[in-house]
Amino acid sequence: DMLDRVNEYAYLTENGIPLGDIAYRDFVMGNCPIDAPSPETVEQFRKTIDAAEAGDAEAQYTAAMMAMEGAVGLPDFDAAGKWLQKAADVGHPGALYELGICRLNGEGMQPDAIDAVHLLESAADLGNVDAMLTLASIWRGAKGVPADAKKVFAWYKRAADAGSAYGWMHVGICAFNGEGTPTDRAYALECVKTAVRLGCSDAKMLYRRMERYLEENQDEQKRQIFSARNDAHTIGNVGLCCRMQRT
């Protein structure tokens, strides 16, 4: 398994044997990519595993992410899930979030949207903004979870209050369209402007579109022309930004 490969790589390094030779063998056997991990990566991973096994929650989280990303060999979601669970059990926010995404997508474990929501809520309650944004996407109706516009707005608002530019942009969209909150277009523009100030490039274009629409439709009744954008929140396989759909 992954830890066995780490120990083997470490032994080879200590005895001056090129890692490339064993990496090529493992590549032929389908155990890992052809690129050998550097000796530094092997040593870092081994120290991380030692600390994780000693009960260090941060090391457990780091070990999980290294396993998930294939730092040594192919991505190993089974190992990642084990370490995430250990760190989550002691309240590590990042581990709760990542475990929620794994549970949602069935990575290394059976998919369970309800359990995923609970894990993500726990992470969000500990201040994890990624979890807040992901929950907003889930409550749009992802993974069989019933859509709930009020919860969508509530989670975007929590993310915005925590300083998320993306959260402010989506609060503005919800307020502009009256989705989960009363329609308030002046407030919507202020929210999107806040997102712009916080560096959200998507919000700049959106702000101009909103202003143009209001100028062109001053006498019309409200119309919901701005659908909630999923951009980084692809509902097909939920998780935040590039973590939403692991490749």
Select the more confidently predicted residue: 225 or 183: 183
Lowest-confidence region among 31-45, 78-92, 119-133, 141-155: 31-45
Q: Give 146: exposed, middle or buried? Use CB within 10 Å, 0-12, 13-18, 19+.
A: exposed
Res. 175 pLDDT band, cuts 50 70 90: very high
Q: What is the pTM of this model?
A: 0.75
Q: Name the residue with higher pLDDT: 197 or 240.
A: 197
**pLDDT tier, 6 (very low <50, low <70, confident <90, very high otherwise):** low
How does DSSP assign 36-94, residue by residue?
PPPHHHHHHHHHHHHHHHTT-HHHHHHHHHHHHHTSSSS--HHHHHHHHHHHHHTT-HH
* 230 vs 135: which has the higher pLDDT: 135
Query: Percentage of the chain surpassing pLDDT 90?
Result: 55
Residue with tokens 């307020």, as numbered in its chain: 175
Q: Which of 48 and 75 is assigned the larger pLDDT?
A: 48
Query: What does the pLDDT average to over 70-83?
Result: 81
